[in-house]
Structure 1
């Protein structure tokens, strides 16, 4: 079996290593969620998007999360039923509504992020200065990979 260093020398090998590492980190961060938070990762992603970008239509949320609008409608309905979001009339298009975070939704996102950031901060502290600098440079690249089609 080839060594990890040899596999990573090819783009396909690097892709495989990144996929595995990112998925493991995602699962680990998911396990560090705020206790008592029973929302799905998809629901939390919607709350996070609303926290970052402000009010959005269901169509905008669906496009950003790359799901079909009926699926997003179900997610938004669950979030609304739980008091995490509200639907309000669209300011310029009477046929649409916008989805807005409630105080509960905002507090949930902030508490969840704080807990996971604290865990990751502790893990980063165990790395060397050079390793943390490398991750600082890699973070924007990983974000760009996630954004591109």
Structure 2
């Protein structure tokens, strides 16, 4: 059974406002202050999924291939990614995360988790409320992982 449209619209508004404000606060916590959100997202994707082509990275980040080439160039100059020729098609290039790039992702995740834990601690949630937040996060992942 589906929820009524007005309830869906109200829920969408509430979630948008809360997640936007939370994301903005969390984005401030990163291991490399000069790194853009897109650069960090590319590194996180490579760390989670392994090597990718520039085209695949561009699709996932919803940017053009030339834009992704520029992003990858910047990450490569900083030593966070390395390019290797594709084994099947020598015209294509695969992009891999380096240990330094993986370290940036791990440290950024640590800082963001720590910041969010501190924010939750300041509100002084009960164990039951924290369980509700964990359940809500699972429901929200279902929305974004479609």
Q: TM range, normalised to the smaller chain?
A: 0.7 to 0.9
For residues 1-149 of structure 1, the aligned pairs below 5 Å read 10-34=7-31, 36-125=32-121, 126-148=124-146
TM-score, length of structure 2 as denominator length: 0.87
Q: Which runs of 4+ in 1 moved over 4 A?
A: none
Gaps of 5+ in 1: 1-8
TM-score, length of structure 1 as denominator length: 0.86
Between the aligned partners of 2:91 and 2:35, the Cα distance in structure 1 is: 29
Between the aligned partners of 1:142 and 1:111, the Cα distance in structure 2 is: 24
Equivalenced residue count is 139
1:144 positional shift: 2.4
Greater relative contact order structure (CA < 8 Å, 6+ sep): 2
1:99 positional shift: 0.5
Q: RMSD of the alignment, in Å?
A: 1.5
Name the counterpart of 1:4: none
Between the aligned partners of 1:14 and 1:96, the Cα distance in structure 2 is: 44
